[in-house]
Structure 1
Amino acid sequence: MKSDRLLSILLLLQTRGRVSAPELAERLEVSVRTVYRDVEALSASGVPVYAERGRHGGIALLPGFRTDVTGLTEDESRALFIVAARGAHDALGLGAALGSALRKVMAALPAPHRPAAELAGRRILVDAARWRGGPQAPADLGALQEAVFSDRRVRLRYRHSGAAEPSTYTVDPYGLVAKAGIWYLVADRRGSPRLFRAERVRAATVTDDPVRRRPGVELSDVWEALRREVEERPDALHVTARVRRDRYDLFLRLHAASLTAPPEDDGTSDWITVHLGYGAVGETRPLLAFGNRLEVLSPPEARAHLAEAAASITALYASDGV
């Protein structure tokens, strides 16, 4: 609606100061011509807004002008109070600030919307942590936050999975990302995107050097590229297995991410055939948790690996112990 668009322009100008017409058009998903028509409408309604053309021009409000109108709809009010579990904010040292901010927003809401917003906060909770994820090593985000917000390079002592000693890197941070309850630093190292798990950072030192990010690249762009790289990497090992029907739901909860094709189920057999992809034969070992309710059919090297692992477990428990 045009009224919502006008309010969005007003709030953006209050927050950002001078904003170019193309940027406003992109944010609002309209044409630049529509933006200029909206600016004229705001000016006609008494808002002191003006446009300057040229390389360093843009659209801005006269200095000192503010409006207290929030313009929030009932649904928008609800959305603000459906917040994630406190873990993410606490990890950033913002747990208390979140509560204070929400109280201030509640006070500023139009009175008719306050009950709905308060109810949404009590009835809806988003918890991004996975079930039974196990205890996680605490991540010290202090220095990483400082580097991210001060736009400076950071020197890391970072221990890779399986490595005996940490390695040292100097990186250019784009930002921090919380994925399923785990914090990551997204950064460039020598101009290439890298992902660093925060809990593996043994030491972080913010340098005096300004960050050197690739021009025009934002955190969301780098994260999307890295996420695709992790999730869409080609699988070196293709496994065909069959799962007992009474364990299939549990199998899906644990291994759905490894599926490479729809399951084969004729509806009459006690077995459901699945196709899985792994980076190496050793990654198939968790399938042993299903015992005789799951059988790997191919390739032969996967069957041999699991048979060897099962034999070693049998030998362990067949002994008298220590």
Structure 2
Amino acid sequence: MKVDRLVSIIMILLDKKRIGAKELADRFEVSTRTIYRDIDSINMAGVPVRSTSGVCGGFEIMENYKLDKKVFSTDELSALMMGLSSLSNMMWGDELVHALAKVKSFIPADKAKDIELKSNQLSIDLSPWMGNKNIQSYLEIIKAALKENRLLSFDYADRYGNETTRTAEPYQLVLKNSHWYWQGYCYQRKDFRLFRLSRMSSLNMQEAIFSPREYQSAQLDFTDILATMQTEITIRIHKSIMDSVLDYCTYEQFLPDGDEHYLVRFPFIENNYYYSILLSLGNKCECLEPVSIRKEIKRRIHEMASMYES
């Protein structure tokens, strides 16, 4: 969010004597043009930032300036508190405490209760109900390695179950669709890779420190690609599993079929992942068409059943 970046820039300028536009752009992974627009926004908000040219030039807050606590509105402060509080497990302990303390210092006494109520209107809990018990400890190891530029070694299983031992430079933690990943430069593959935490084991942070190389954030938006691959199939579901199906499509794709069932135009790609979705719905879901998908589901069910017959 832009307001988060503006607050961070102000804090950096208060903490540092002077900092260049490129250094700020690199830190926030935006363009220098965006940084200049941010500086203009900060100036318009009443914080006097001046720029100096030359080899040691950059941005700095004018001397003897005292930050006005009214520079942020109640809604902006609420948004900052909401984000910092809800994503607390994404940050290192000391950094979170200091960031919260700084933001709280902006809150006028007469607005404190109102801001606290608003900041509690959204709660984000990223911890799973159940699952891989190593995920949380691995997150802490990866965050420490990111902070200290330390190499990570681990065993990794690909989606086909093939296991390899890897060493990689960590660059970015990613949460996508409730699954944790991290992007790193893999020494074995000599390229950047996106690793899924649930497929890792024996993760260790090494003593070796690496010099960060240039990298681009991992591509996470595959909407356009998926749109070309997906087709719609027709499934008939019992109303008791509506919530589960709505995780993959919208209510506009539902058509009532009697009092207990729905016909659903379900987005589908012919791969194991999508077949596993349909099979996970059990006898509450029936694929009606196309016939080819229906036959393949039937084959997979028979194959599963034969495992228990012997």
Are 2:149 and 1:151 equivalent residues in the alignment? yes
Contact 1:152 1:206 in 2 (8 A): yes
2:248 corresponding residue in structure 1: 255
Q: 1:248 to 1:263 in 2, by over 3 A?
A: farther
Q: Is the 8 A contact 1:282 1:305 kept in 2?
A: no
Contact 2:278 2:285 in 1 (8 A): no
- Distance verdict in 2 for CA 1:184–1:251, change over 3 Å: closer
What SS does the aligned partner of 2:141 have? helix
Deviations 1:62-118 (A, max 9, x none): 7x85635443321122113324777x6447663x87467546643552112211122
| Identity of matched residues, % | 17
- Contact (CA 8 Å) 1:284, 1:306: kept in 2 or not? yes
1:119 alignment partner, one of 110, 114, 117: 117
Q: Do the aligned partners of residues 279 and 222 (structure 1) sit closer, same or farther apart at CA in structure 2, a change above 3 Å counting? A: farther
Tell me how far apart the structure 2 counterparts of residues 191 and 222 of structure 1 sit (CA, whole Å): 17
1:80 alignment partner AA: L
Cα distance in 2 for partners of 1:173, 1:277 equals 34
**Structure-1 separation of matches of 2:9 and 2:229:** 51
The number of equivalent residue pairs is: 285
The letter of the residue matching 2:275 is T
- Go from structure 1 to structure 2 and tell me whether the alpha carbon gap of 1:101 and 1:175 turns closer, same or farther (over 3 Å shift): same
Q: Which residue identity does 1:173 align to in structure 2?
A: P
Checking the alignment, whether the CA contact within 8 Å between 2:150 and 2:205 is kept in structure 1 is: no
Structure 1: how far apart are the matches of 2:230 and 2:21? 51
Which residue of the other structure, out of 288, 291, 303, is the alignment partner of 2:283?
Answer: 291
Judging changes above 3 Å, is the alpha-carbon distance between structure 1 residues 151 and 230 closer, same or farther for their aligned structure 2 residues?
farther
Give the secondary-structure state (helix, strand or coil) at the position aligned to 2:246.
helix
The one-letter code sitting in structure 2 at the alignment partner of 1:197 is R
The secondary structure found in structure 2 opposite 1:136 is: coil
Counterpart check, 1:188 vs 2:185: yes
TM-score, normalized by length of structure 2?
A: 0.68
Q: CA RMSD in A?
A: 4.4
Q: Does structure 1 residue 280 correspond to structure 2 residue 280?
A: no
**CA–CA separation in structure 1 for the residues paired with 2:175 and 2:34:** 27
Gaps of 5+ in 1: 1-5
Q: CA deviation at 1:162?
A: 5.0
Partner of 2:234: 241
Q: Which secondary structure state, in structure 2, belongs to the residue aligned with residue 163 of structure 1?
A: coil
TM-fit CA distance, 1:240? 2.0
Is the CA contact 2:77–2:103 (under 8 Å) kept in the aligned structure 1? Answer: no
**AA partner of residue 113 (structure 1):** K
2:34: which partner in 1? 26
SS in 1 for 2:278: helix
1:50-199 paired onto structure 2 within 5 Å: 51-61=51-61, 67-70=66-69, 71-83=71-83, 89-90=88-89, 94=93, 98=96, 102=100, 105-106=103-104, 108-128=106-126, 134-139=130-135, 140-163=138-161, 165=163, 167-189=164-186, 192-199=191-198
1:3 counterpart residue number = none
Asked whether the 8 Å contact 1:236–1:280 carries over to 2, the reply is no
